[in-house]
Structure 1
Amino acid sequence: MVRARIDPLSGKCSVKVIASSIRKGNIIERDDGQLYVVLSAESFHPGKGTPTTQIDMRRLSDGVKTTDRYKTTEQVERAFVEDMDFSYLYEDGDAYTFMNDENFEQVMVSKDTIGDQAVYLQEGMKCILSMFNGQCVAIQLPARVTLEIVETEPVVKGQTASSSYKPAKLSNGARVMVPPHIATGTRVVVQTEDGSYVERAKD
C-alpha cells in the first residue's frame, strides 16, 4: 500500500516507493532532506547476493550529482511532479525556452536537464515537461523524429540491407549509423532517446 505524505510547511507531497520502481525524471528526497532529480536508475540481479538498484541523481538546489545504491525492495521517498504539455520555442545560450500550451507562460530549461537529447529539439515540437515548484526537472521529447541525411558514404551496388551499418550525418548535426542502402538526401526516422536509426521516413 502506498501512503502519500504532505509536508505542512512546504506543501510538498511525497510517497514511499520501492527503489526498483524509480525511473529517470522522478524526484526523490534523500536522508539529507534535499530533493534530487533521477538521471538514471538501473537494477542489478546477481546470481547470488541481494538485488540492488543504482540511482544516479542531481540535487535540485545546486546541481551537484551523486549516486546511491539501494536494495531493490528498499523504500525511497518520491516527491510528486506535475507533467505538463509544452511547445519548444528556441535556444538561448545554455538554456532552452518552452511555452505552456494552456496558459502560454514560458519557462527556461537548462542544458543539464535536457542532456544529449537537445540536438533533436525542433521549433514547435510538443514535449512533456515535469514541473516541480515552477521549475522543470525533467523532459520527455517525442519518441521519434524525422531528419534528413546530409552526409554519408555512397551506396555501393550489390550491398544488401543486412550488411553492416555505415556512419551518417543528420541535418541537425547528429551522427547516426544507417543501413548501406541509405543515401544522402534520404529522410529517416531516429529514436530521440539514444539517437538510433529506426527506418526510412514514409513521407
Structure 2
Amino acid sequence: MLLIALDLLGIAVFAASGALAAVRARLDVFGVVVLGVTTALGGGIIRDLLLGIHPPSALRSWPYLLVPAATGLLVFWFHPQVARLRRAVLLADAVGLGLFVTSGTTTALTHHVPAYTACLIGVTTGIGGGALRDVLLREIPLVLRREIYAVAALAGAIVVALGQWLRLPAGPVALIGSALVVALRGLAMWRHWNAPVARGVES
C-alpha cells in the first residue's frame, strides 16, 4: 500500500510539472491535462512496452489515470499559486525522479533482464515522461541539455542493480537509490552544476 501511495505521489508531481509547462505554453485545458498525464505516465508506459507488459500497468488501474488528470485540472485553475512554489515543485520532481528510477529498475530486474538493461530501463522510466513533454512542446528535452538530470537517475539505477547483485534487501536498497537521486539532483540545482558542453560553437 505504501509503495502504491508513493507511486501515485510521484505521478502527481510529474503531472504538475507537465501541466505547468503546458500552462506556460498557453495550451487550453485539454492540452494541459493531456500534457500532465503524458508527463506522469509516459516513462512507465515506455518501461512496460520495453518489458513486454501488455497492457501497460498504468492503463489497468483507474487511479493511475485519475490522479494525473485531476492534478492537471488543479494546476490549470490554480497555476499562479503552484508557480509560486517553484522550488518545492523542483524538489518534489527530484523525489518523483528517484521513485520512478528505482521502481523502474526493480521492475526490470524482476523480469530477469541483464543489469545494464535494467539500469537503462530504470532511467527511461524516470526521464521518459519529461522527454515526451518537451518534445510535444517543441523544446529540446531537459535530459539533453546541461542540467544534471539523467546522470542522477543513472546513479540511482546502478545502486538498485548493485543491491540485487549483492543480494541485499530490495526495499532499503530502493530507498537508498532514491535518496541518492534526490541528493544529486538537489545538489545540482543548489550549486548550479551542469554537464559540460562543446566549446567554440556559435549559438
Q: What interval of TM-score do these two structures reach, taking the shorter chain for normalisation?
A: under 0.3
The higher radius of gyration belongs to 1
Using structure 1 for the length normalisation, give the TM-score: 0.21
In terms of fraction of residues, the more helix-rich structure is: 2
| Structure with bigger RCO (C-alpha 8 Å, 6+ apart) | 2
Structure with the largest fraction of strand: 1
